[in-house]
Amino acid sequence: MSEETTIKNYFALINEGKLCAAHCSSCNELALPPRLFCPNCNSKTTNWTELSGEGTLRSFTVIHIAGTTYAADVPYIVAIVELKEGPAVCARLVGVDPLKPEEIHVGDAVKADFVEIPGPTPEEKANRLVFRPA
Ligand SMILES: [Zn+2]
């Protein structure tokens, strides 16, 4: 795999069960989604750094109506999680009941996990980043 801090490589790392951000060795900024150039200082000296996966729930919504790709998954929760290292990421929140959102609280501790999702062929299955209550 190329070490370039591209979205394509970000998802390749997700497939390996690794949540990573682009780290700038010039100014120490972490970029997620990753970028080839540091969004803080424009340096090209970005490289991957693996994150802990520990975070805090900052916002969430329950999806009841989805497009055809995800229609079979409803209801499900999409959350914004602020990671311990600083960046925020959007992913599904699992391990909770989407029909009882009153039991989910902004500020709750969550932890990254990876669930296998089917691909067009068995060889093309992939991992999806999700968060679970910590
Ligand atoms: Zn930088």
pLDDT digits (tens, 9 = 90+) for 62-97: 999 999 988 999 999 999 999 999 999 999 999 999
Residues 45 and 60 in one domain: no
Query: By residue range, what is the domain housing residue 12?
Result: 7-50
Q: How far is the CA of 80 from the centre of ligand 1 (A)?
A: 24
**Is residue 100 scored above 80 in pLDDT?**
yes
For residue 86, the cross-strand partners are none
Residues 59 and 122 in one domain: yes
Residues 81 and 116 in one domain: yes
The pLDDT assigned to 125 comes to: 77
Q: How far is the CA of 9 from the centre of ligand 1 (A)?
A: 19
The pLDDT assigned to 2 comes to: 57
User: What gap in Å lies between CA 101 and CA 34, rounded to an integer?
Assistant: 31
User: What gap in Å lies between CA 17 and CA 27, rounded to an integer?
Assistant: 27
Q: Provide the residue type at 17 as one letter.
A: G
The pLDDT assigned to 126 comes to: 86
Asked whether residue 21 is domain-assigned, the answer is yes
The pLDDT assigned to 65 comes to: 97
Q: What is the pLDDT of residues 10-20, one digit of tens each?
A: 999 999 999 99
Q: What is the DSSP string of 33-46?
A: S--SS-TTT--S-E
CA distances 21 to 60, 79, 87, 118, 125, Å, are: 22, 18, 8, 25, 23
Question: How many distinct structural domains can be found in the chain?
Answer: 2
- Which residues sit with Cβ closer than 5 angstroms to ligand 1, an ion? 24, 26-27, 29, 38, 40-41, 43
**Is residue 1 scored above 70 in pLDDT?**
no
